[in-house]
Amino acid sequence: MFATGLFALLAACGTSESVEQEPTDASLPTIPSAFSGAFSAWDSLKPRLMPAWGISPFWQDNLEECVYYETRMDYREKNQFESVTYLSRAVLPARPGVPSEPAWFFQCLPGDSLWPKQEGWFSAKPFPQPRSWSRVYETQGAERFGNPETGAPYSVRTWTPVPKNKSLTAKGSLPEAELEMAQGVLLADQLPFLLRNLAFTPGKSLTCGVYPIPRRGMPALSPPLQFTMKVEKPETLVFLEEEYQTWLVTLNAGDQVVEKYWFNRSYPNVMVRWENMIGESKMLKYVRYTAGG
């Protein structure tokens, strides 16, 4: 999981006047009302995306991607551990009256008990868009944004605390609650997957707001923040004697670079490195692909 402590709501996502036009509704499939929430925001990114990313024959054998990272909470080498992300093609859970559809299923095991486990569903066509997201905190509880199995809309955040008899620390947790989010919700911890779909053109940028991921052990939701997302340049990284040809993408608050992402220049554009302004980082160790059922 990503210690992106500086993001929030994408309802106001936009591009400069000199860039391509916004996509039209006619180019998009019909979206069930239960899944509404992220689409107005993520659709506005379409001029920056590669629509063919998710339909590549690379995934035709139902491959599961497992990516292993060396994760550090600061610059000290002793504060490091291994985190793992999983990505696979799947089918959104079907409900009566709602047809199933191809989707992506993403999961992150953070490797640190103070960070939540994460998983979520994304539509597959015309490009990935969030349909649900959940974070599970071991000692405090779980939060969920939408639920394809029940039809709960993505724009509602539900917090469920750990029962008090299962954890001594649960008594300090948040009470059970639901919160209606603004339309266009996008969460910072979804970006490592979603940004792989960018058309990596140096110099292209857009301004957006994203909900930050909560700090370690603190599940309270932070307010949205505005950022400029920019594709900077191609860059070569070297780690463990391995050389990676990457695209550098930055997230900026004014003149301050808040986060950096490096994505492999070769498809499927795995995130090679991530770091933020307070010294937290992830560096790719290796990737494993296995055929699904």
Q: If pLDDT is split at 50, 70 and 90, which confidence band does 69 have?
A: very high
Q: If pLDDT is split at 50, 70 and 90, which confidence band does 74 have?
A: confident
> What's the total number of domains in the chain?
1
When comparing pLDDT for 99 and 94, which is higher? 99
Q: If pLDDT is split at 50, 70 and 90, which confidence band does 49 have?
A: low
Enumerate residues 6+ apart whose C-beta is below 8 A from 221.
Answer: 143, 157, 179, 211, 214
With respect to residue 3, please indicate whether it lies within any of the assigned structural domains.
Answer: no
With respect to residue 7, please indicate whether it lies within any of the assigned structural domains.
Answer: no
With respect to residue 153, please indicate whether it lies within any of the assigned structural domains.
Answer: yes
Give the range of the structural domain holding residue 145, as residue numbers without chain letter.
25-288
With respect to residue 93, please indicate whether it lies within any of the assigned structural domains.
Answer: yes
Half-sphere CA count of 151, side-chain side, radius 13 A: 9
Q: What is the pLDDT of residue 139?
A: 82
pLDDT at residue 33 is higher than 50: no
Cβ atoms within 10 Å, residue 231: 22
pLDDT at residue 262 is higher than 90: yes
Distance between CA 11 and CA 13 in Å, rounded?
6
In three-state secondary structure terms, 40 is: helix
pLDDT at residue 80 is higher than 60: yes
With respect to residue 234, please indicate whether it lies within any of the assigned structural domains.
Answer: yes
With respect to residue 209, please indicate whether it lies within any of the assigned structural domains.
Answer: yes
Q: Give the pLDDT confidence of 204-239 residue by residue, as tens digits.
A: 887 777 787 766 666 777 777 778 889 999 999 998
Distance between CA 66 and CA 107 in Å, rounded?
10
**Site of tokens 């990596």:** 200
Enumerate residues 6+ apart whose C-beta is below 8 A from 254.
Answer: none
pLDDT at residue 78 is higher than 70: no
Establish whether the linkage from the previous residue to 29 is cis, with ω within 30° of 0.
no
CA 32 to chain centre: 21
Q: 186, 208 in Cβ contact below 8 A?
A: yes
> Nearest-CA neighbor of 259 among 225, 223, 217?
225
Distance between CA 68 and CA 216 in Å, rounded?
20
pLDDT at residue 247 is higher than 90: yes
Cα torsion angle, 182, 3, 134, 113, sign: negative
With respect to residue 15, please indicate whether it lies within any of the assigned structural domains.
Answer: no
**Site of tokens 């391509």:** 20
Helical segments of the chain, H only: 39-43, 191-194
Enumerate residues 6+ apart whose C-beta is below 8 A from 212.
Answer: 4, 5, 6, 7, 8, 188, 222, 225
Q: Which helix (H) or strand (E) holds 247?
A: strand 242-253
> Nearest-CA neighbor of 225 among 237, 213, 242, 238?
213
Q: What is the pLDDT of residue 182?
A: 61
Q: What is the pLDDT of residue 24?
A: 34
With respect to residue 8, please indicate whether it lies within any of the assigned structural domains.
Answer: no
Q: If pLDDT is split at 50, 70 and 90, which confidence band does 269 have?
A: very high
